Structure 1
Amino acid sequence: MTRIMNHPVLGNVDDRERIPFQFDGNTYEAYEHETIAAALLANGIRKLRVHEDSGTPRGIYCNIGHCLECRVTVNNQTNVRACLTIVEKDMIIESGKQHPNLVRRMVEQR
């Protein structure tokens, strides 16, 4: 696990409660007040979804909510930004779902 354990402003992470959560069926641990993105990175997870057209892996890019690359599914709610969402106890997180490209499908049907 890679995580800053003692930060001069945020304090000592060991003083925080540990929170279990699931990602793609596996159980991991986060610390209270941690974002999904931070918790996944700390647990060695880099791939959060695949690109809708190319299928290439996507992960955390801007980490401030602008790029939408870190979209995941949280408790069956799709397109949740991992970098802005705080982990909650027993949260079920899944890789972002690859939605079909409707424009491409319409063109192919012609």
Structure 2
Amino acid sequence: MPTDSSFKRLAIQSRKNLRVWVEGRPVEVMEGDSAAAVMLAQGELPTRTTAVSATPRAPYCMMGVCFECLMEIDGVANSQGCMTPVREGMRINRQQGAKTLKETSALDKNSTSNKSSKNNTLNNNDILNEANGQDTAIEPKRTVVEDTL
């Protein structure tokens, strides 16, 4: 015996097709879809790995509570994919582990910390030396204090 349902399907005809980029490839999606829904529909699982143990994760609750849907959206890490509606030209990528500090435009392109950094990342000593105007290629002076008593 059928009853009236409060469930209403979205009118597909009223939604526009959009083009987004998923892991570098163009994908046609529908306006109103979330970034997490697009990743699930494309079979792009896992959508992230955890920072400490690199455990694979995927969207779970789809309502912004569990934070399992964190991904990189338009270059911004830790974006909640389930709460982010797609828009034309959006770039959606998996998030792999912890993010590192990368070279920014605030740093001089010719600075020694940029030259000495491996994988285009900076470590704490590079940052401190840059702030103090020291060349990171030069070892800091070591002073030995002898006890004369």
Distance, in Å, in 2 between the alignment partners of 1:85 and 1:43 is: 16
RMSD over aligned Cα atoms: 1.9
Distance, in Å, in 1 between the alignment partners of 2:28 and 2:45 is: 16
Residue number in structure 2 paired with 1:47: 46
Residue number in structure 2 paired with 1:103: none
Task: Give the residue type in structure 2 aligned to 1:51.
Answer: T
Rg comparison, structure with higher value:
2
Deviation per residue, 1:25-81 (Å, 9 max, x gap): 121121001111112222222311111122121101111111111101111111100
Q: How many angstroms does 1:97 deviate by?
A: 3.6
Q: Structure 2 length as normaliser, TM-score?
A: 0.57
Distance, in Å, in 2 between the alignment partners of 1:84 and 1:40 is: 13
Q: Structure 1 length as normaliser, TM-score?
A: 0.75
Instruction: Identify, as 1 or 2, the structure richer in strand.
Output: 1
Mean CA deviation greater in 26-35 or 81-90: 26-35
Q: How many angstroms does 1:87 deviate by?
A: 0.4
Residue number in structure 2 paired with 1:83: 82
Distance, in Å, in 2 between the alignment partners of 1:35 and 1:49 is: 16
Mean CA deviation greater in 83-92 or 45-54: 45-54
Residue number in structure 1 paired with 2:22: 23
The SS at the match of 2:83 is coil
Give the ranges of 4+ consecutive aligned residues of structure 1 lying more than 3 Å apart after TM superposition.
Answer: none
Give the % identical residues: 28
Contact 1:29 1:39 in 2 (8 A): no
Mean CA deviation greater in 31-40 or 41-50: 41-50
Task: Give the residue type in structure 1 aligned to 2:78.
Answer: N
What are the residue-to-residue correspondences of 1:1-110 with 2, within 5 Å?
9-99=8-98
Number of equivalent positions: 94
Q: How many angstroms does 1:14 deviate by?
A: 4.0
Unpaired segments ≥5 residues, structure 2? 1-6, 100-149
Contact 1:78 1:97 in 2 (8 A): no
Distance, in Å, in 2 between the alignment partners of 1:43 and 1:13 is: 19
Task: Give the residue type in structure 2 aligned to 1:56.
Answer: T
